[in-house]
Amino acid sequence: MPSILDCKCVLVIGATSGIGRALALAIHALPSEPLVIVAGRRQGRLDELLKEGDRIRAVRFDVNRERNELKNAVQDIVAEYRDLDAVIFSSGIQELYNFTNPEQVDLDELEREWSTNYTAIVIMITFFLPHFLKLSQEGRPSFIIPITSGLAMTPAAWVPNYCATKAALHSFSLSLNAQLKNTKVNIMEIMPPLVESELHDHQGTAPMMSKFWMPLVDFTKEAMEGLKRGDLQIPVGTNAEQWNEFEKGKIERVARLLEHFERYGA
């Protein structure tokens, strides 16, 4: 089973804090010694990461840019790092919305959350795929690794748009896995629970959430175990129970449905 241990060069988008940063450093520490490219908006954080190891490179990267600019940024990375064989999509934002007061819902903020957490990721995957499909033709495995959430399975009503973006990315990952089944491009979805991070700082909910969240070090250890096994879905912590109840076997069902469509519908 192909796994993160097969990778020569891993790009982590959204690596300047939290889950993305922790995974980038954990991958850098693998005995297989891959090159790790950390990408994010905050140059100061990127500079700090460069000090963590000789095999770390940094790219200033904003997912919320015009489509052509995003395409150029992806193509620049692929051109510079020909051995790139994995991308982890860790960038994300989370906002609170109360639709009992609809006039107070910031629709610009809502659209930005949707773009950051879903649309931009799908667009970037589309731009990375030609490179990964070329690797596949050469017999090399590659990895697209979206980070979704347990909230894709059971939403938290106080962050309804965030949950919807993660549910959409989860659904897309299942479909992409089925479409690429005859290639060496592997879709490995990480599904975190509530994890220690900066995601909640601007909401003012971090002190309360900290009573319940999974320590980042524990999350990273468990997620890395799944990546090293080559699991296509990696529900971490308490999400394992939800996954067993709602999601187990769904990858196979989606693949069968696509096969049925290709045989009879197309």
10 Å CB burial of residue 263 (0-12, 13-18, 19+) is exposed
pLDDT at res. 1 = 87
Q: What is the DSSP string of 20-52?
A: HHHHHHHHHTSTT--EEEEEES-HHHHHHHHTT
pLDDT digits (tens, 9 = 90+) for 101-141: 999 999 999 999 999 999 999 999 999 999 999 999 999 99
188, 209 Cβ separation under 8 angstroms: no
In the chain, how many domains are there?
Answer: 1
Structure tokens at 179: 């479409």
Residue given tokens 């300047």 in the structure block: 16
CA atoms within 13 A on the CB side of 177: 23
What integer pLDDT is reported at residue 142 of this predicted model?
98
Taking residues 169-173, report their average pLDDT: 98
**What is the secondary structure of 56-107 as a DSSP string?**
EEEEE--SSS-HHHHHHHHHHHHHH-TT--EEEE---------TTSGGG--H
- Full-model pTM: 0.94
Q: Find the mean pLDDT for residues 77-87.
A: 98
Structure tokens at 218: 């524990």
Domain that holds residue 216: 4-265
pLDDT at 225 over 90: yes
Distance CA 212, CA 230 (A): 29
- Separation of alpha carbons 28 and 57, rounded Å: 11
Count of Cβ atoms closer than 10 Å to residue 250 Cβ: 14
pLDDT at 196 over 90: no
Task: Determine how many CB atoms are found less than 10 A away from the CB of residue 202.
Answer: 12
State the Cα–Cα distance between residues 113 and 137, nearest whole angstrom: 36
Rounded Cα distance between 90 and 19, Å, is 7
Q: Residue 198 above 90 pLDDT?
A: no
What pLDDT score does 203 carry? 59
Per-residue buried b or exposed e for 167-180, using 16+ beta carbons within 10 Å of the residue's own CB: bbbbebbbebbbeb
Q: How confident is the model at residue 230 (pLDDT cuts 50, 70, 90)?
A: very high
| pLDDT, averaged across the chain | 94
d(CA 133, CA 131): 6
Residue type, 199: L
State the pLDDT confidence band at 209, using cuts at 50, 70 and 90. low
| Helical axes 43-50 vs 18-28, angle rounded to 10° | 20
Looking at the chain, the whole-number percentage of residues with pLDDT higher than 70 is: 94
Torsion of CA 115, 120, 122, 125, to 10 degrees: -170
In the structure, what pLDDT confidence band is assigned to residue 38 with cuts at 50, 70 and 90? very high
Residue 27 in this model has a pLDDT that exceeds 70: yes
Q: Do β-strands 86-89 and 142-146 pair in parallel, antiparallel, or remain unpaired? A: parallel
CATH, residue 232 = 3.40.50.720
